Structure 1
């Protein structure tokens, strides 16, 4: 780390979170706002970077997430799997004019499908670097686009993405179920019932319409519909994830505590051991591990 420390930024589609990190890796300051890449006009990213440096100090910057996508500032090409800390560092996109570097995303292909991630790789590698997950592990990163990743000897060897969070948001705002789904999803009895239904039947689209029918016929209260729908979606997510797991018996959940709590409850229903890890802690560990390699 440089004597001045650095600014680390987790810059997503809808939000950005910036951290001022001291020379010894200590967290000095947090800053967050809703200026994700979708809120910044093409050609305005340089000004947004300059404003952030003015706010947080003229330090070197390490940027991760959608800021490095083809919708962001400067594209940092995807690194192929398997990839660990050395491969991420080798793929950094240097922007000397701004004293900044952008973390690459990861890509994975097998005989049947292709997949990409951008941003989650920092947390996955950070969890290993900080000893929060073993070097050989199965990791689930819940979110808008949930990730399931196999980590072998500290490197991400394979992963798959599930659009669980985005589907829930679309159902809640733009579907025939929207009126029934306004109550927040919690890991209550209705959530567990939804998880169990998905694990046992795996007829997701039919089960989702059943929410409307059960509401109309008085079987399901509207205040429980959002939790039940969340359980259906997360149950389907977990069923696919455990099929992807291979020999791993424990799932390490990395992300926002409220969201990992839902997945943890669902995994317990599936009789699967799990460990919850704070996403911010993992991100900071990963970004600091990369900084130690380059500065």
Structure 2
């Protein structure tokens, strides 16, 4: 008989998979695997190969979030419309069977965003709900949360329900410009990377956005090249400058539609969240950081058909 206290949690995005074997409130083991975009076998086969010996613990359920529920994943879990809370998502879990192991996939969210267009997310909804559990004060009133990443999400939560969000592909645009545009090729970059130069460039890029406003971002981006040619900007400082422009522009645009940045809860990797915190501070806002992995575990706990309170991660 399966042990109801033993479960498998998974955060399965495009670039990575993180699996956790849990018993009660504790994480007993953790494994990493390929993201949906890097599979050499089907999602079902990949999952079963990774959790093979975990089956000896007789888990009662595997609960997965992220791109595993996309049309390119294991099976498509239909988007839940906003506004939505934990109960709405829990009621829409997509249930599958994997060689006798029950699997549930968390649906993503859809909304009409602040610009009047359609918007979607997968995986971030779980982190958001986890952040609300980690800091229950976020369930009261109107709150702004941000999830920095390849596709940064700005999310409005009202009295514990996700009411709308806005996506900006900041990380993807930065990667494309750095790797495939002429912007990074005006100065030699064959030496070791200088974190100090990157940080100085980032601060300079954010300052230009504060000075000129986000509407001039397309024109400011070209300064990444012209400042290398005329001002002697190093490649590292230029790439920091480009990052500062993009993150600063994204943050300033959000301030214009949200009304007032106030205090933003930043959910994600510490290094990237710190860059957004710097941009928010430059625009007279404040922020608090929420660890992305902790938020995923707390969110999956909340969305589990038989949720337990609290998660203790085995170091």
Residue aligning to 1:50: 48
Would you say 1:26 and 2:30 are equivalent positions? Answer: no
Which position in structure 2 is the counterpart of 1:101? 104
Give 5+ residue unaligned stretches, structure 1: none
Residues 223-277 of structure 1, C-alpha deviation per residue, up to 9 Å, x if partnerless? 2111111100000110122123245611110000010011111111111011111
Give me the whole-angstrom Cα distance separating, in 1, the residues matched to 2:271 and 2:168. 18
Change (3 A) 1:248 1:174: closer
Name 2:266's counterpart in structure 1.
253
Partner of 2:311: none
- Which secondary structure does the structure 1 equivalent of 2:11 belong to? strand
Q: 1:181 to 1:191 in 2, by over 3 A?
A: farther
SS of aligned partner of 1:227: helix
From 178, 197, 200, give the equivalent of 1:189: 200
Name the SS for the 2:37 alignment partner. Answer: helix
What is the Cα deviation at residue 189 of structure 1? 2.7
Q: How does 1:173-188 map to 2 (within 5 A)?
A: 173-179=179-185, 183=193, 188=199
Contact 1:14–1:39 (CA<8 Å) still a contact in 2? yes
**For the residues of structure 2 that align with 1:125 and 1:268, how far apart are their CA atoms?**
25
Mapped to 1, the partners of 2:121 and 2:200 lie a distance apart of 33
Larger Rg over CA atoms: 2
Q: After the TM superposition, which parts of structure 1 deviate over 3 Å for at least 4 consecutive aligned residues?
A: 1-4, 55-58, 178-187, 292-295
Alpha carbons of structure 1 residues 174 and 229: separation in structure 2 relative to 1, 3 Å: same
Alpha-carbon RMSD across the aligned residues, in angstroms, is 2.2
Residue number in structure 2 paired with 1:40? 39
Pairwise CA distance, 1:219: 3.8
Distance 1:247 1:218 in 2: 35
Q: 1:180-229, CA deviations, whole angstroms, 9 ceiling, x for partnerless residues? A: 59647777232111012123323112211111111012342222111111
- Verify the 8 A CA contact 1:194 1:229 in the aligned structure 2: yes
Aligned to 1:122: 126
Gaps of 5+ in 2: 309-315
Q: TM-score, normalised by structure 1?
A: 0.92
Distance 1:8 1:220, change over 3 A: same
**Range with bigger deviation, 236-245 or 216-225:** 216-225
Residue by residue, what CA displacement relative to the aligned partner does 1:40-83 show, whole Å, maximum 9, x if unpaired?
A: 25x72221121122053352210100000011110000000001
Matched residue, 2:162: 156
Q: Assess if the C-alpha contact under 8 Å between 1:184 and 1:226 holds in 2.
A: no
> Does structure 1 residue 207 correspond to structure 2 residue 220?
yes
Aligned to 2:71: 70
Q: Deviations over 1:144-169 (max 9, x none)?
A: 00000000111100100001010111
